[in-house]
Amino acid sequence: MRKLILCGVLLCAVAAGADQGQRAEWFRKAGWGVFMHYLADSSDVPVEEWNKRINAFNVEGLARQLEAAKARYFFITLGQNSGHYLSPNKTYDRLVGIQPSKCSTRDLVADLYQALEPRGIKLLVYLPAGAPDRDKVAMAKLGWQFGPHPNIEFQRKWEKVIEEWSVRWGSKVKGWWFDGCYWPNIMYRHPKPPNFASFAAAARKGNPGSIVAFNRGVVYPIHSEAAEEDYTAGEMDDPTKVRNETFWQDDAQFQMLSYLGKAWCAEPQRFTDQQVIDITTRILKKDGVVTWDVPRQADGLIPEAFFQQLKAIGEAVSKAGR
C-alpha cells in the first residue's frame, strides 16, 4: 500500500509538471516581452479623474509600438496600493462598499486585447496578492492584515475578486503575475484552502491555460516559489546577476523580470542598447524568458527613448533567430 501511495503522489507530480510545461510552452517560445505599471499615484485620486485617465489610454498607439518593437507579450497592472483598478469588478465593489467605485468604468484589459490580439501579442495581468494598503476602507472590509498572518478570510474574498475578472476575460488573458507573496509558508503553503492551489485555480477560473507566478520579492537566485507556478516571477533589481546554468526551475519556466529605467516605471534609462541586448539574448539562448518594465506616458504610450531601446532588443532577438 505504501508503494502505491508513493507512486500515486509521483504520478500526480509528473502530471502537474506536464500541465505546467504545456501551459508555458508559448511563453518559452515567445522569449521576451514588456511590462507596464499603470497606477493611480494616490488613494485620493477622484474617481472622475481616474476614469478620465483610463479613458485616455491609447490602446492602438501602444499596440503599434509593441508591434514595431517585435514584443511577443505585454503585462499590464490591474491596480496596486491606491485601491484604483483599471477594470470594473462587481465582486470587489460589493465587498468593499466604496461608492462611487474606484474600479474604472472602462475595461482597459478587454480593450487592450482587442488591439493586441490581431498583432499576435499576448496579454497578461499583474495583481498584488494583498489588499490595497493605502485604502483604509478596503483594507478593513477585505479583512487584510499586513505581515505574517494567515489572512484566511481575506484570501477567500480576494479569490472571488480574481475569479470575476478571470471568467469575464476568459482566454483573452494568458497569464497572471501575483505580487507581494511575502509570507508563503504562512499564507499559502499548506494542504487546506485557501492556499497556492486555490489561488492558482481562481486565476485559471476563466482560462485553464493561464500561466501563473507568485512573487515574494527580489530573491537570488531566481527560483520557483510553488508547485502551482507555471513560470518564475523572477523579479530582479540587477539583471546582470542572473547566473543560472539552466533556465528551468522545478517544472516552472524560467523568467526574469527587471526594469529598463532607473527604477520600476521610471526614467531615465540605466543601460545602453547593447547591454540590454546582451542580457536578453544570453537568457534566451538557454530557453529562458525576459520581461522588461518600461515607463509610460499619461496616454499609455511608451516614451520615445524606451521605445527605441525596445526596438533594438526586438531586432537583435529576431536576428538571433528567436
Q: What is the pLDDT of residue 243?
A: 75
Contact 129, 81 (CB under 8 A): no
Which three cell numbers mark 271? 543601460
Q: What is the pLDDT of residue 157?
A: 98
Architecture in CATH for domain 30-319: Alpha-Beta Barrel (3.20)
pLDDT band at 30 (very low <50, low <70, confident <90, very high): very high
**pTM value > 0.85:** yes
> Would the pLDDT of 191 be above 60?
yes
Decide which of 286 and 109 is more confident. Answer: 109
- Report the C-alpha gap between 69 and 49 in whole angstroms: 31
Decide which of 203 and 14 is more confident. Answer: 203
178 phi and psi, to 5 degrees?
Answer: -95, 125
**Residue spans of alpha helices (H) in the chain:** 2-30, 47-55, 59-68, 90-96, 108-116, 136-142, 152-169, 184-187, 196-203, 273-284, 304-319
Which three cell numbers mark 84? 484604483
Read off the pLDDT of each residue in 248-255 and give the average, rounded to a whole number: 81
Q: What is the pLDDT of residue 312?
A: 98
pLDDT in tens, 50-67: 999 999 999 999 999 999
108 phi and psi, to 5 degrees?
Answer: -65, -30
